[in-house]
Amino acid sequence: MTNTLYDSLFAHHEGNEAPFLQLDDGQVVSYHAFLKRAAQIAHVLHINGVSPGDRIFVQAPKLAETIALYAASVQAGAVYLPLNTAYTLAELEYFVSDAQPAMIVCDSKDEAEIGKLATQSGAKLLTLGGDTPSLSLEADAQRCVFETVDRAPDDLAALLYTSGTTGRSKGAMLSHQNLLSNAHALVDLWGITNDDRLIHALPIFHTHGLFVAMNTSLLAGSEVRLMEKFDVGLILEELPRSTLLMGVPTFYTRLLADEGFTNKVTGNMRLFISGSAPLLAETHVAFETRTGHLILERYGMTETNMNTSNPYSGERRAGTVGMALPGTEVIVTNPETGALLDQGEVGMIEVRGPNVFNGYWQMPEKTAEELRENGFFITGDLGQYSEDGYLSIVGRSKDLIITGGYNVYPKEIEDILNDVDGVLEAAVFGVPDNDFGEAIIAALVAEPGEKPDTDRIAGTIRDKLSRFKHPRRYELVPELPRNTMGKVQKNVLRERYANKELSPAVS
């Protein structure tokens, strides 16, 4: 039998005694031991009624056992559905009712609450973590060999729900081929091999931590230092014996804030990769100055995995996400007509390739809206190409501000604000306005110990941007609201300031 994803990521490690996972307690799990454990868990899935194509709903702690559950799900032909560990019971109710899983796996501490959802939905409930994890205990009694279930390239391997900041959260259906093609492209582009050791401090319920980090490591046979969570002290300890770090911008700003983060500590490192949220140009510069390393920034999303990357060998250009991955087409189009735009023009980013998902779970109308008949996915991100082919993300289409009939792209204003002395970072967004349709607001986070002069900042903006792009008001905030992957939640800012009285427009 053939199983597209399992055969390529897992099966070739049978008998491989090389280290795969090193855990926080010092335990090292070899590839061979990992495969045996995955097979035991696959038996548990089968015994508990999980059939090929069934969804396995997972809200569990970051453990080696949770990674093995992912492998077991693939081997058993099921559809893996990881969920943010911060979701509340009320939020989980929607996902259970929508996905209709055959099994729910949760943290042992949440068994009583989530057990109610399992009972209501008819799903089998098992637990991980704690002193009596039922999934682990059941697996202990099973054989270490499991007959892999046949799965074709187009069969579903995973169901990942979008963040749902506007409307209902949507389940992106990802096939075996979607995940495998992307892993191959990234391993080749970033030169990942079995000589690499990855520091893994990302969550594993998201594309970045699960599919980018784990799938590439599995494909290449790399070692993974699996950390429960991001910890600057632990990262500093692991850097001298590691070669790769995949992170979000917050990782890099927090490392730079620590005096122990030096070029000596990073001497063994081969590559630092950033994604999931934009990385400020000043962070790029500070990081290179401190370590001699240039961070490699890339661009992806739930529905497509990775789409573009700055080159491994070549210029890694700050403020851009590089070029399309091999085998993937990334174009910029007119949002109204879908017509291809010239380089330099801002428009909608669209993606086509083997990495693009199969559509949204039980949402054919939404799928038809965002996935064209010609295979291009309308990302909702606005971008532009440079003359030499580097893509820059301008922002989300829903974040576009239309004020007085003019289109304003927040990033243009944010780039200026982020360069102002005393400003750590900025977020620009629109709120309803009776006169202009929308008014521009800028939320500013100060550098430690600084208090930015908003009058001076307004003067800087007046000197550099047209009048219609000037923020109506500047709000000093202690921090910007972010999701678990570090993306600024402008919807939260819009809601927070939507009903706050605005000053009259300034000429």
> Are the C-beta atoms of residues 472 and 497 closer than 8 Å to each other?
no
pLDDT-based confidence at residue 168 (cuts at 50, 70, 90): confident
For residue 348, pLDDT beyond 70: yes
pLDDT-based confidence at residue 307 (cuts at 50, 70, 90): very high
Neighbouring-strand partners of residue 82: 58
Among 36-50, 325-339, 396-410, the minimum mean pLDDT is found in: 396-410
- What strands, in cross-sheet order, belong to the sheet with 271-274? 28-30, 19-22, 223-226, 197-200, 244-247, 271-274, 296-301, 305-309, 323-324
What is the model's pLDDT at position 438? 82
> Are the C-beta atoms of residues 327 and 337 closer than 8 Å to each other?
no
Neighbouring-strand partners of residue 174: 158
pLDDT-based confidence at residue 167 (cuts at 50, 70, 90): low
Interval 100-117 mean pLDDT:
95
DSSP run (H or E) holding 219: helix 216-220
For residue 505, pLDDT beyond 60: no
pLDDT digits (tens, 9 = 90+) for 74-108: 999 999 999 988 888 888 999 999 999 999 999 99
What is the model's pLDDT at position 39? 98
Q: Which residue ranges form the domains of the chain, and what is each CATH number?
A: 4-151 (3.40.50.12780), 197-396 (3.40.50.12780), 400-497 (3.30.300.30)
pLDDT-based confidence at residue 257 (cuts at 50, 70, 90): very high
Interval 383-394 mean pLDDT:
94
What is the model's pLDDT at position 502? 58
For residue 430, pLDDT beyond 80: yes
Where does residue 29 fall: left (phi above 0), alpha (psi -120 to 50 degrees), or beta otherwise? Answer: beta
pLDDT digits (tens, 9 = 90+) for 262-292: 999 999 999 999 988 778 888 899 999 999 9
- What strands, in cross-sheet order, belong to the sheet with 347-352? 329-333, 347-352, 377-385, 391-396
